[in-house]
Structure 1
Amino acid sequence: MRDLHNQLSMLNRQVGTHLDLKDIDMDCLDLVSRQGPLSPTALARLAGLHPATMTGILDRLERAGWIVRERDAADRRAVIVRALPDRGKEMFGLFAGMNTAMDAICAEYDDGQLRLVADFLAKATGAGRTATHDLSASA
């Protein structure tokens, strides 16, 4: 797992270098893309970051055209962060090699094996989420 984590971190750094994005900016952009639109506070909570830190990240992502901040229609004081899909295509292209390789790897397994792998990954992700929450709660 550590080897996989390290390799994916290196891949993310290379993609970030091509796009002029910091690792934490890419992490937050991924959260907004997959779970958004989100309020900055909800995003900070999900990312385990202080709201003031999140403001700087969102400023960089907005200036670079990756996200927009919009006023909530129901409460004009509230702000919602939304990823811009056209920029996501740019990032997706840089991950194309890895995505193609993963498709080939998955094709080597039957549906039952893939369900087992998916179950393991979901449980490992949950364990990581719990450990992260526990550490952030004690800080």
Structure 2
Amino acid sequence: MSSGASGGGLSRRRLATEIKDSLRELSNQLALLNRQVGARLELKDVDLDCLELIGRYGPMSPSAVARRAGLHPATLTGVLDRLQRGGWIVRERDPEGADRRAVTVRALRDRNAEVYQLYSGMNGTLDGILTDYSVAELEILVDFLQRTTTAGNSATAALAEA
């Protein structure tokens, strides 16, 4: 990093605190946004979270969804039942699986427009904010967010194992 990475004392601590406070506030605001989106779509928070995971990383097995979501498999069964009844996902037999009972969960793309529309205000605002940053600054932001996400994943895993 730049020469500013080692100096600054109180100013550096204050900025670090502001970043952590801002991340907590962002987390709260995104949770509120997700609750509003879920309510409009008639999905529980956990349903919306799992739908996002399936859409982003799927198709995948229910056990893989449960691991990524940090849910007990029995809890996930109820989530998947609700998502399937709502027309958000399908469960398909895995033709490649050694166990013929194995299923894969896949998000149905024909309902994506409903979700994207509800997030369009936030996404449009983010697009506007990002135009204020240079490519070099955006690269720093990407690095920070990726490293912060990795740290969050590690902290979550450590708590789950304790």
Amino acid aligned to 1:104: G
Amino acid aligned to 1:66: W
Percent identity, aligned pairs only, is: 57
Q: Distance in 2 between matches of 1:134 and 1:38?
A: 24
Moved over 6 A (4+): none
Q: Which of 83, 100, 104 in structure 1 is aligned with 2:128? A: 104
Amino acid aligned to 2:161: A
Query: Matched residue of 1:68: which SS?
Result: strand
Shift of 1:77: 1.7
Q: Deviations over 1:47-70 (max 9, x none)?
A: 111100110000000000000000
Shift of 1:73: 1.1
Over aligned residues, Cα RMSD in angstroms?
0.7
Amino acid aligned to 2:79: I
Higher relative contact order (CA 8 A, sep 6+): 1
Matched with 2:13 is none
1:73 partnered with 2:95: yes
- Provide TM-score, normalisation by structure 2: 0.83
1:87 partnered with 2:117: no
Shift of 1:74: 1.8
Q: Distance in 2 between matches of 1:79 and 1:136?
A: 26
Query: Matched residue of 1:4: which SS?
Result: helix
Matched with 2:77 is 55
Q: Distance in 1 between matches of 2:93 and 2:62?
A: 12
Shift of 1:86: 1.1
Q: Distance in 1 between matches of 2:111 and 2:156?
A: 29
Which protein is bigger by CA-based radius of gyration?
2
Q: Distance in 1 between matches of 2:85 and 2:69?
A: 20
